[in-house]
Amino acid sequence: MTAGVGGQVVFQATAGDGIGNPPALTEREAMFRTTMEAAQVGIFVLQDQHFKYVNPYLTRLFGYSAEEMVDRMGPLDVVAPAQHAFIIEQMQARVAGVSGHHYEIKAIRKDGSEFPAMIYGSPSVFDGRPASVGTLLDISSQKVAEQRIRELADYDVLTGLPNRRLLRERFVQLLAAAERDKTEIAVIFLDLDHFKRVNDSLGHSVGDELLVEVARRLDTVVRRIDTVARLGGDEFIFAMPGFHTAAAAEVARRLIDVFSRPFEVAGHELTVTPSLGISIYPHDGQDLETLLKNADTAMYRAKDIGRNTFQFYATEMNTATLDRLLMESNLRRALAQNEFILQYQPLVNLRTGVIVGVEALIRWQHPELGMIMPDSFIHVAEETGLINPIGDWVLCAACRQAKAWCDEGLPSLVMAVNVAPVQFRQPGFVEMVAGALASSGLDAALLELELTERTVMHDADINLGTLSALHRMGVELSLDDFGTGYSSLAYLKRFPVGKLKIDRSFVNDLETDPDDWAIASTIVSMGRSLRMTVLAEGVETAEQLAQLRKMGCDMAQGYYFSRPTSAAGIAEILRAQPFVNR
């Protein structure tokens, strides 16, 4: 090897001694040979489109021996056929003395496997004739890293679905095609119902596995030209070109059907349902952000009407959304400015007529709208998480009032407080109850927590621990709206519940509807068998009261006795005890 004119490398073959012994190597040639053999990059010399030299790294890379490659093979033997024309152009350019540049090829090993490689070639001279020298680098690891970077940038790490960034890029293309072809695009916003319960009860790892399984099922519904993306959490987006309203509705139905079978996740059989909102381009928006916002609005409408269904966007939904946001803002202000008050309704012992307790009922004293009943704001409080601080306030205020009545010398009575499902499941609920009792000084036996049977039966085994802790504390427990849920008698026997409240829907027509009478009578009998007190709510007439007494109901509350009233009003009623011996 010697230096040539113009910086070219000149390779000169050295003659042997004519009797089969290898030629003597100069010190420079020995250094060159050692360097080539130690190089961690493929090095080769080409002439007449054949290899004239290959270093050991290159032979190992392709799986051939030097004897198989030198003078017998060329680049066309180790490059994918689709690139042969390009490779021939490059070899001709090097022979013509044109300097090379880096380019990628798809290389083929002896076993037929492929790998990406980077080539750099340079004109050269070998034995006095034009040739080229080049390097080859396996860039498989680099390609894997680049692919991983693209995945992290464009795809959701958990589910492998496109993320918001890639969704936005694809939607630009869909919009261009839709504008050109005058077609529609359906955008479907899917949200899992009550997904937070899975994370809270079984842990985030199970929730993540559930999301992966959901993504797999969702992917089976869409076409190859559709995009299903995950925005985050349990929110999935479908962008579907060429879909009009009827077709979008059919896809929405298929998506709901996907959830009809339970998911097997981490040894648990989980049943989840979706709520879907649909917006259509160009009717409901001209860009992705508007279409997403409107589909999201429609999805919340689907949740409002019962979940596990779909709704199309309509402009009037914006008004409802604004009202909801205003309600949430006002609730936060009401909590900060003490606009909530409590009223109380007596709980009467039907055998003696004595008022033995009251139920605390929240009211919102709005500075402009006046008194607002809980039916108008509790559902918003539950959905926004405000029910926890509001429920905590109710509990503490009710305990303080019950203790105040005791301090006034009034007869001891039970203070019944409703507990919302979200509030009951919040971490530290037992400790919060203990704190309310301690700060007020109220005897735990005078506090009764009312929970709906749906609240108790959801994750019954987990809730049993909370109920038992409250019972050990001395707090009384009752099941509200009994008969409207799905109680299991096996669990009911295990729960430390002391009272069943017959739902008002069974009391309204008690004297005229035989079915209501049968249900109420059955609840009374069941309560007696389980040694529980039974209370009927919503009693408004003497006839209803007579029927309840006849079937042996223990207690009642309702307008027949008293409407909810202030603490001062209850104090007067407690002193008078107007229902004794009535």
Check if the beta carbon of residue 252 is closer than 8 Å to that of residue 188: yes
Beta-carbon count within 10 A of 343 CB? 18
- Name which of 138, 123, 131, 110 is nearest 41 in CA terms: 138
pLDDT in tens, 41-61: 899 999 999 999 999 999 999
Least confident segment among 75-79, 122-126, 262-266, 491-495: 491-495
pLDDT in tens, 465-507: 888 999 999 999 998 877 665 555 666 777 888 899 988 888 9
Cβ neighbours for 491, distance < 8 A, ≥ 6 positions apart: 456, 457, 460, 464
Q: What pLDDT does 7 receive?
A: 39
Residue 550, judged by CB atoms within 10 A of its CB (0-12, 13-18, 19+), counts as exposed
3-class DSSP state for residue 123?
A: strand
DSSP code string of 171-214: HHHHHHHHHHHT--EEEEEEEETTHHHHHHHH-HHHHHHHHHHH
Separation of alpha carbons 479 and 483, rounded Å = 10
Q: What pLDDT does 75 receive?
A: 94
Band (110; pLDDT cuts 50, 70, 90): very high
Separation of alpha carbons 446 and 469, rounded Å = 16
SS3 content of the chain, % helix, strand, coil (to 5): 45, 25, 30
Task: Using the predicted structure, report yes or no on whether residue 354 has a pLDDT greater than 90.
Answer: yes
Separation of alpha carbons 263 and 234, rounded Å = 15
Separation of alpha carbons 2 and 196, rounded Å = 74
Beta-carbon count within 10 A of 449 CB? 21
DSSP code string of 9-74: EEE-PPP--SSSPPPPPPHHHHHHHHHHHH-SSEEEEEETTEEEEE-HHHHHHHT--HHHHTTT--
Q: What pLDDT does 167 receive?
A: 93
Q: What pLDDT does 250 receive?
A: 86
- Name which of 176, 139, 7 is nearest 61 in CA terms: 139
3-class DSSP state for residue 530?
A: coil
Q: What pLDDT does 56 receive?
A: 92
Would you give the DSSP letter of residue 376?
A: G
Q: What pLDDT does 152 receive?
A: 72
Largest CA distance in the chain: 136
Q: What pLDDT does 554 receive?
A: 94
Structural domains present in the chain:
2-142 (3.30.450.20), 155-314 (3.30.70.270), 338-576 (3.20.20.450)
pLDDT in tens, 248-270: 888 998 999 999 899 998 888 89
pLDDT in tens, 363-402: 999 888 889 899 889 888 887 888 999 999 999 999 999 9
3-class DSSP string for 350-379:
CCCCCEEEEEEEEEEEECCCEEECHHHCHH
> How much is the average pLDDT of 200-222?
91
Separation of alpha carbons 26 and 573, rounded Å = 119
- Name which of 265, 198, 263 is nearest 458 in CA terms: 198
Tell me the whole-structure pTM to 2 decimals. 0.54
What are the Cα distances from residue 482, in Å, to 66, 457, 492?
86, 12, 11
Strand intervals (E) in 303-339: 310-312
| Cα of 483 vs its chain's centroid, Å | 32
3-class DSSP state for residue 244?
A: coil
Structure tokens at 279: 């917006």
Least confident segment among 124-133, 282-291, 539-548: 124-133
- Name which of 117, 160, 116, 150 is nearest 135 in CA terms: 117
Check if the beta carbon of residue 276 is closer than 8 Å to that of residue 311: yes
Check if the beta carbon of residue 294 is closer than 8 Å to that of residue 285: yes
Structure tokens at 221: 């519904």
> How much is the average pLDDT of 524-529?
89
Band (319; pLDDT cuts 50, 70, 90): low
CA dihedral for 507, 502, 556, 425, sign (positive or negative): negative
Cβ neighbours for 488, distance < 8 A, ≥ 6 positions apart: 457, 460
Q: What pLDDT does 368 receive?
A: 85
Check if the beta carbon of residue 134 is closer than 8 Å to that of residue 121: yes
| Cα of 378 vs its chain's centroid, Å | 24
Using the structure block, give the residue that is written with the tokens 């926004």. Answer: 384
Residue 237, beta-bridge partner list: 189, 229
Band (17; pLDDT cuts 50, 70, 90): very low
Number of H helices, E strands in the chain: 21, 23
Least confident segment among 6-10, 242-246, 502-506: 6-10
Least confident segment among 37-41, 426-430, 571-575: 37-41
pLDDT in tens, 22-47: 555 577 777 777 777 778 889 999 99
Residue 347, beta-bridge partner list: 357
